[in-house]
């Protein structure tokens, strides 16, 4: 029987993102023992492995590798929102939202957002 832990989940996610691997129990146990043995945090372990195995790669190449490894095929859809600078409902609003004192003027700036 397995009892997943937060550290175990982080280790599994790092293995997938960096190496496109699903770790077996012996490797997972080794990583958990490394962390629980006082050698550092999961972040420390992942950073050591990253520097060792990917330290010479560009940020763009690492990002492309991780995107491919976790099977992200296209970005999430983005909605346009208006940032109302004045009025009772100042903040992010969808285009045409009511409550912005300057709904069509210079104070309304369109920004990409989720």
Q: In the 8-state DSSP scheme, what is residue 93? A: E
24 φ/ψ angles, rounded to the nearest 5 degrees? -85, 175
In 3D, which of 43, 41, 40, 14 has the Cα closest to residue 27?
14
Instruction: Please state, rounded to an integer, the average pLDDT across all residues of the chain.
Output: 76
pLDDT of residue 84: 52
23-70 pLDDT, tens digit each: 999 999 999 999 999 999 999 999 999 999 999 999 899 999 998 998
- Strands of the sheet containing 91-93, edge to edge, are 91-93, 79-84, 108-113
pLDDT of residue 5: 82
Confidence of residue 106 (pLDDT cuts 50, 70, 90): very low
């Amino acid at each position: 029987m397995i009892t997943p832990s937060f550290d175990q989940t982080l280790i599994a996610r790092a293995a997938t993102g960096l190496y496109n691997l699903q770790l077996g129990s012996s490797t997972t146990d080794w990583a958990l023992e490394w962390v629980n043995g006082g050698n550092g945090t999961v972040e420390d372990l992942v950073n050591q492995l990253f520097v060792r195995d990917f330290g010479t790669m560009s940020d763009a190449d690492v990002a492309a590798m991780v995107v491919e490894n976790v099977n992200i095929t296209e970005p999430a859809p983005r909605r346009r929102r208006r940032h109302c600078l004045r009025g009772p409902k100042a903040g992010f609003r969808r285009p045409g939202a009511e409550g912005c004192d300057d709904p069509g003027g210079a104070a309304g700036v369109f920004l990409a957002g989720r």
